Structure 1
Amino acid sequence: MNEEHLWCLKENGYDAGLHKHYEGLFTQGNGYMHARGSFEEGCSDAPQDEEYLRFPDNVTLEKPRHPKSKQGTFIPGIVAQHPLLKEEIVNLPYMLGLELRSAGESLDMDRSRISGYSRWLDLRDGCLHRSLIWETPGGMLLKCTFERYISIADKHLCIQRIQVEVLAGEGRLEVRATLRGDVRTNGMNHFARIVPGAEGTAGGLSLETLTEQGNQIFMHSVLDATEAVTWQEENSLVTAAHRGEFAVQTGDRLTVSKLTAVTTDRDIEEGGADSRVLAQLSQAREIGWDQLYERHAACWKSKWQEADIIIKGDDLAQLNVRASIYHLLRANAPEDARVAICAKGYAGEAYFGRYFWDTEINLLPFYLHTNPQAARNLLLFRYNTLDGARRNAQNYGYRGARYAWESSLSGEEQCANWQYADHEIHITADIVYALYHYVRATGDQDFLEHYGIDILVETARYWCDRVDWNREGVGELLGVMGPDEYLPFTRNNAFTNRMVKFSLEQTIACLDSLQGSKPDSHAAAVERLGIRPEEQELFRYTAEKLRLPYDSGTDIVPQSDDFASYADLDFNSIWTDRSRPFGHFISQERNYRSKALKQADVLELMLLFPQEFSKEQLKASYDYYEPITTHDSSLSVAVHGIVASWLNQPEAAANFLQRVMAIDLSLEKKGAAEGIHIANCGGLWQLIVYGLAGLKSAMWSKDIKLAPRLPKGWTELSFQLAWQGERYRITIHPDAHEVHKLEGRSYVAGTTL
């Protein structure tokens, strides 16, 4: 049976209104660089150099600009300053330019006579394909086939090919290859200098770019054709271009290949970026087109062997989960701890290339159990930006380290909206939770000793300063925005307070453990961090006295101490169109004083600390909060799906599964237009693994424990897990499940609930 339909995202028929959506959905990359799925020849009436000023706005309610096309080339770590929005990733020059022209007309999807159009992204190897028939003004019928990939094996390379088959007629065909610098990022020109040139050999072109931040980017391309051609240089001030002309007739086949190498001054490799880019091209040409692809495909195959989830009985879910895994694999640079994964998965400008709590809570579990080294580097990023977190705390008047709600390279706060930057403080504790999740999943205790202890102590200092003490001597956290961003000034948000208590408790436990088992390491930490004798007791006292607005006898866990005092709403009278976010139908002022959740808050708490809540508390809280949760955040639906599965509500869980899958793939929602909701990709993985497979989190279990509840129609679910330094294959059927340690060293079987 041909399984292509389970591996390919397809666009059958061109619709200009969906073009931006497919650009995001078809984003390619390899961790080092990424490119949106734009047409090689560009799009008519969609200039990429429009200049405008984007203002700070509510992240949910901001109305993005809607040009027909928004190209994007991103290298994590290449950033610049926006005059209002602080630091943002730079949309780099467009390296994919390959244009066709015949009889005075350029191939244009909106203006040319096109038939037989199809485009598809093959998730197995990350290759993007496009096929169409172009009827030229001169009467030729040309079958044009495009394919390209960004190599995951040779990370500086982008490989493209166009094949033109003349089905009828004869005439002349022009091919124009470009590297274009007429690009803006959120309306801003971040380029201080652009130098187009020739690579030095026939069919070679180059573009050297200097950003206003001082980064150098080198793009060099070489062209090959199956027919003899003399390439003519056609450079402009900001574009490097070569043009070749061919005489063709019925039956002819012409193939033009473009090999592009990209290097920057931020690269990990030694040596100058200008010399390395030429070396990359030279080496690639020696390897050859076929071998380059084989290396690339083999690397993807290896990644899929470790990360794939196999679903039998639901082809739609199978394709959707693979699409999410593809973007999770593509977006991560597992060898570079200087960057993390931005909220749009490097598939758009919308979130400025910044890093949120999504990384630790939504994304990390996937990497923990597929590529633990990648998970380690994501946490090393937080260690590497600890100085920035220290500066954040100092700027707010506190000791220690306060992690940014929106972080860029330095770790300093980049969020231009005070509501989130000032009050959404739980990220500082979320990072400690993720740190321990990693250690417990991998057994990497050395990470705590060499890196984690610094994060623990510095964040504990911040929390001790941030806590207020009431007349009864109880510690409180006031003026807090929890995960639910529709209530910004709450008192003792349950999620935040529990995470902070956990963070302080683990700091104490780590210090006590080091002092008892590794006194030299403890002494080194005391000296390095300047830990005073009384500080450890302060951490302990604050953890013990910090208030939690619930206990084991609480039926419905309150979102915060003051949640009951907020106003009730008649959702049906306010939210008249459920296809649009609730926030569009209510003023922010009213929303901020009402019981309308943007996303899971208490349920997120219960997901992270499941052992602390009874089944009755879980059900009561789910029944209470779900009807007043708007799911205006893409982080919300997967959490509810997991809880519904835990509560053995299969219809609700299946409904949430469909909603999670629709966030990026629905043509009606066009959800990928501004980039991939990468946290939702991680959420889908968690919904399947933690929810439907019922895996107990490694945070709370040393052994693999499953309580599966497969959706109706699913006949099999299987996936690999990295667990405590070993790899396992999990296979689940409707009535039983199996856990195999790979290489057959052990075997565990169980009965499905």
Structure 2
Amino acid sequence: MKNYIKADEWNIIEEGFDPHLNKISESIFSLGNGRMGQRANFEETYTGETLPGNYVAGVYYPDKTRVGWWKNGYPEYFAKVLNAANWVGIEVKIDDEVLDLATADVSDFKRVLNMHAGILERTFTAKLKSGKIVKVKAIRFCSIADDEVGVISYSITPLNFGGKLTLMPFIDGDVKNQDSNYDEKFWDMVADEITGTEAYIKLRTKKTEFEVCTGSNIKLYKNNEKLNINPEAVRKEKFVGQTFSLDVKAKEEITLIKIVANLSSENYPKDELLKKTKSVIAKTTSKGFDVLLKEQTEAWATKWEESDIIIEGDVSAQQAIRFNIFQLFQTYTGKDDRLNIGPKGFTGEKYGGSTYWDTEAYCVPFYLATAPQEVSKNLLIYRYKQLGKAIENAAKLGFKDGAALYPMVTMNGEECHNEWEITFEEIHRNGAIAFAIYNYIRYTGDESYLSDFGLEVLIGIARFWKQRVNWSSDKQKYVMLGVTGPNEYENNVNNNWYTNLLATWCMRYATEAAEIVQNQSPEKSASLLKSLNFDAKEFADWADIIEKMYYPEDTETGIFLQQDGYLDKEQTLVKDLPASERPINQKWSWDRILRSPFIKQADVLQGLYFFEEDYDLETIRRNFDFYEPRTVHESSLSPCVHSILAAKLNDEARAYEFYLRTARLDLDDYNNDTEDGLHITSMAGTWMSVVEGFAGMRVRDGKLQFNPFLPTQWKSFSFTIGFRGVTLKVTITENGINIKNNNDVDVEVAIKNQFYKLKGNAEIEVNNAELV
């Protein structure tokens, strides 16, 4: 675990330059705006260890999978979000020396990510081998006010010399992904253009033929006075830039303003891309750096008004929760229902930048409460639009009659994961998608979603489960064989409790949804069911499976067994594992892991989290106390579920312990894996740990309910949520809870099962003594 980020409520601060930490910092200080993202690579040359990363949403490449291609039904490719053209580059030469932080003597290095404004600032002093010393200040942001635009202000001041300064801002499209097979490069050149201070490059991906045009405009200033220098054009393979040369004196500050646009053929006709990019550059250049910065600051201020969590008395925790919220909004803004959330967002290449079940299970709750309703709705519509592909995916595995299996990993709806135990067996992802529909409607009350989109998806998923189970004559029950649950340290097991539970719940909810649509609009219901060739007998088939499904359980202890035979394993506990053997996914063979009792992430407990209303506290406690000591939490998605359940059980110490594990996972590089990107989807789990865990927020019967506690390490915490047309500010102190209604609509809320009428633009305060 690292601990080099300075504690600050609104800023992520790194002081001093350590090359061994550079790739970690490149992840932590990443920027994005939902349409594009950029790792915190340096503008100037850096020949040290680095992971370059610039990503454009929705643009991917179907890289040939290296394994499993010969198995029937196996994906032919692994989709990857591509490392796109590097737009931040500025080569700096002092006389004939290149400024390179890998070879220079660097001092006074400081990097600050201002989360309130969405701005990255970096300052340092560098002494070159010649003895010349320069001071640099760089400011960068990806605009969320205009999500096709990135902006850089790069200032350099010679401190102890005068001489020739040469700046070469460039756009480099000759890039590749770190994990590309055989170091293949995925971009082909289409066109380029350099005119004075503007440069453009248009690239096309191989196979998928996405096109991206990147353009830039450069302005140069000396001591804040604009310079008019005719640059020299620079062209290389898939590379455009300009060279600006000028004589400088000691203490003269030269500032280069670089305004960049990234436009994709996902949003514009290919033959208009260059023209449209020029238009964006002209528009943003006319605004200038100061106006663009003001727009960025104001846009982020609005986001924080809607979503901030304020923690009093713990600066480290305050910094962590804001960092998690900040990165979530940098990754996804909900403007485009073709886009989704990759586990690494725009901060790295691991997991291909593709969509997993993480979105539905972890991210949807965050966006439901902190963003306009349309944002979370678009996450659901993304899956609705890919229903046809989900049916094709199921058909490849032998399913029929409209059965739908959503992919474990996807960009366009096709399955593209390259591990058999995931591709074929981790089918619980289907249930997470159905649960997200239920969760959305439970939170928003928008039942019209079922008739417009949701029922069709739910029927496809229920049809899959019906065909996936089989009747066991021995058990006289329906069983499900050969699956992998959320705990990926078990493969090819029979009757994973969580998966079996999800299967029957999905069929039950699909039945209920059909009844709702029938009651809402009989004509629409009849038309939809006819288009799906739906036979009413399917309801009876689902009901039979629901009634007769087998769930593994140890009747003596009352423990729901993760799968058949789990208790045959030697029941060693995590506390008995030597620290030298952890993490086991890096220290043990896969064979040894599979034979062990150790759990990668919440499995049975994931089901108890989803469906906690169906179980009494004692049942949840028994299973929590059994499984938590066996869980190594080597998935970033695991601690938040444990934190929420521990809070429900009034186990405040463990609730806070698990919160800490998820809150600063990346800031402290807890699992030694931050260098390849941040854990974006688990960041939503951090928010859940506070709001659903410590505040105990739930939706029951269309009303918000709270069951709060204050961690002893904090003086208070507060958060803002949107719910069915109202915005509530919730504050929890050692004395009790205060809820303020910021709208003129009355709302009823429950606090520890006592209901209160909260009038519009009013507030209520309930002391702990009143809740005993």
**Shared fold (TM-score, shorter chain, > 0.5):** yes
Structure 2 counterpart of 1:514: 517
Provide the secondary structure at the position in 1 that maps to 2:704: coil
Structure 1 counterpart of 2:490: 487
Q: Does the Cα contact within 8 Å between 1:439 and 1:445 map onto a contact in 2?
A: yes
53, 75, 80: which one aligns with 1:72 = 53
Structure 2 counterpart of 1:49: none
Structure 2 counterpart of 1:534: 537
Instruction: State the alpha-carbon separation in 2 of the partners of residues 515 and 195 from structure 1.
Output: 53
469, 472, 475: which one aligns with 1:470 = 472
Structure 2 counterpart of 1:152: 144
**Residues 126-525 of structure 1 aligned to structure 2 (within 5 Å):** 126-137=118-129, 139-185=131-177, 186-187=179-180, 188-194=183-189, 197-200=192-195, 202-212=196-206, 213-226=208-221, 227-267=227-267, 272-371=272-371, 372-399=373-400, 400-471=402-473, 473-525=476-528
24, 27, 32: which one aligns with 2:30 = 27
**Residues 649-728 of structure 1 aligned to structure 2 (within 5 Å):** 649-667=651-669, 669-696=671-698, 698=699, 700-728=700-728
Instruction: Tell which deviates more after alignment, 187-196 or 607-616.
Output: 187-196
Instruction: Tell which deviates more after alignment, 400-409 or 658-667.
Output: 400-409
Give the partner amino acid of 1:306: E
Give the partner amino acid of 1:563: Y
Unaligned runs of 5+ in 1: 46-67
Structure 1 counterpart of 2:730: 730
Give the partner amino acid of 1:346: F
Change (3 A) 1:736 1:576: closer
Instruction: State the alpha-carbon separation in 2 of the partners of residues 360 and 673 from structure 1.
Output: 26
Aligned residue pair count: 725
CA offset digits 1:390-415 (Å, max 9, x no partner):
01110111123443443323211111
Provide the secondary structure at the position in 1 that maps to 2:141: strand
Change (3 A) 1:667 1:15: farther
Change (3 A) 1:69 1:692: same
Instruction: Tell which deviates more after alignment, 569-578 or 721-730.
Output: 569-578
Structure 2 counterpart of 1:114: 106
Instruction: State the alpha-carbon separation in 2 of the partners of residues 593 and 140 from structure 1.
Output: 61
Instruction: State the alpha-carbon separation in 1 of the partners of residues 556 and 426 from structure 2.
Output: 28
557, 561, 584: which one aligns with 2:560 = 557
Change (3 A) 1:470 1:748: farther
7, 12, 24: which one aligns with 2:10 = 7
Instruction: State the alpha-carbon separation in 1 of the partners of residues 142 and 399 from structure 2.
Output: 45
Q: Does the Cα contact within 8 Å between 1:76 and 1:353 map onto a contact in 2?
A: no
1:572 deviates by 6.7
Instruction: Tell which deviates more after alignment, 79-88 or 156-165.
Output: 79-88
Give the partner amino acid of 1:705: Q
* TM-score (normalizing by structure 2): 0.90
Whether 1:92 and 2:84 are equivalent positions in the alignment is yes
Q: Does the Cα contact within 8 Å between 2:574 and 2:631 map onto a contact in 1?
A: no
Instruction: State the alpha-carbon separation in 1 of the partners of residues 134 and 617 from structure 2.
Output: 64
Q: Does the Cα contact within 8 Å between 1:404 and 1:414 map onto a contact in 2?
A: no
Give the partner amino acid of 1:581: P
Q: Does the Cα contact within 8 Å between 2:8 and 2:316 map onto a contact in 1?
A: no
1:26 deviates by 1.1
Instruction: State the alpha-carbon separation in 2 of the partners of residues 572 and 550 from structure 1.
Output: 25
Instruction: Tell which deviates more after alignment, 543-552 or 150-159.
Output: 543-552
Instruction: State the alpha-carbon separation in 2 of the partners of residues 570 and 727 from structure 1.
Output: 45
Instruction: State the alpha-carbon separation in 2 of the partners of residues 733 and 224 from structure 1.
Output: 51
Q: Does the Cα contact within 8 Å between 1:505 and 1:540 map onto a contact in 2?
A: yes
Structure 2 counterpart of 1:643: 645
703, 720, 745: which one aligns with 2:761 = 745
1:503 deviates by 0.9
1:195 deviates by 5.0
Give the partner amino acid of 2:605: L
Provide the secondary structure at the position in 2 that maps to 1:278: helix
Q: Does the Cα contact within 8 Å between 1:726 and 1:741 map onto a contact in 2?
A: yes
Instruction: State the alpha-carbon separation in 1 of the partners of residues 545 and 148 from structure 2.
Output: 49
Whether 1:600 and 2:602 are equivalent positions in the alignment is yes
* TM-score (normalizing by structure 1): 0.92
1:273 deviates by 1.6
Instruction: Tell which deviates more after alignment, 88-97 or 656-665.
Output: 656-665
CA offset digits 1:402-434 (Å, max 9, x no partner):
434433232111111001111111110111111
1:436 deviates by 0.6
Instruction: State the alpha-carbon separation in 2 of the partners of residues 738 and 119 from structure 1.
Output: 38
Instruction: State the alpha-carbon separation in 2 of the partners of residues 410 and 648 from structure 1.
Output: 43
Q: Does the Cα contact within 8 Å between 2:740 and 2:762 map onto a contact in 1?
A: yes
**Residues 572-611 of structure 1 aligned to structure 2 (within 5 Å):** 575-577=578-580, 580-611=582-613
1:4 deviates by 9.6
Change (3 A) 1:386 1:553: farther
Instruction: State the alpha-carbon separation in 2 of the partners of residues 378 and 236 from structure 1.
Output: 41
Structure 2 counterpart of 1:51: none
1:573 deviates by 7.0
Change (3 A) 1:136 1:516: closer
Instruction: Tell which deviates more after alignment, 158-167 or 542-551.
Output: 542-551
Instruction: State the alpha-carbon separation in 2 of the partners of residues 34 and 17 from structure 1.
Output: 23
Q: Does the Cα contact within 8 Å between 1:338 and 1:409 map onto a contact in 2?
A: no
Q: Does the Cα contact within 8 Å between 1:112 and 1:136 map onto a contact in 2?
A: yes
1:204 deviates by 1.4
CA offset digits 1:161-205 (Å, max 9, x no partner):
1112333321111111111122111234343522563343x2111
CA offset digits 1:418-454 (Å, max 9, x no partner):
0111111111011111111001101111111110011
1:648 deviates by 2.2
CA offset digits 1:28-83 (Å, max 9, x no partner):
111011111111124214xxxxxxxxxxxxxxxxxxxxxx2111111121111212
CA offset digits 1:266-318 (Å, max 9, x no partner):
11699822211011011112222222222221111111111110110110000
Change (3 A) 1:437 1:396: same
Provide the secondary structure at the position in 1 that maps to 2:235: coil
1:466 deviates by 0.5
1:157 deviates by 0.7
1:621 deviates by 1.5
CA offset digits 1:612-667 (Å, max 9, x no partner):
22222222212211111111111111212222222222322222222213321115
Give the partner amino acid of 1:582: I
CA offset digits 1:74-115 (Å, max 9, x no partner):
112111121225221111111110121113221111211221
Note the aligned Cα RMSD (angstroms): 2.2
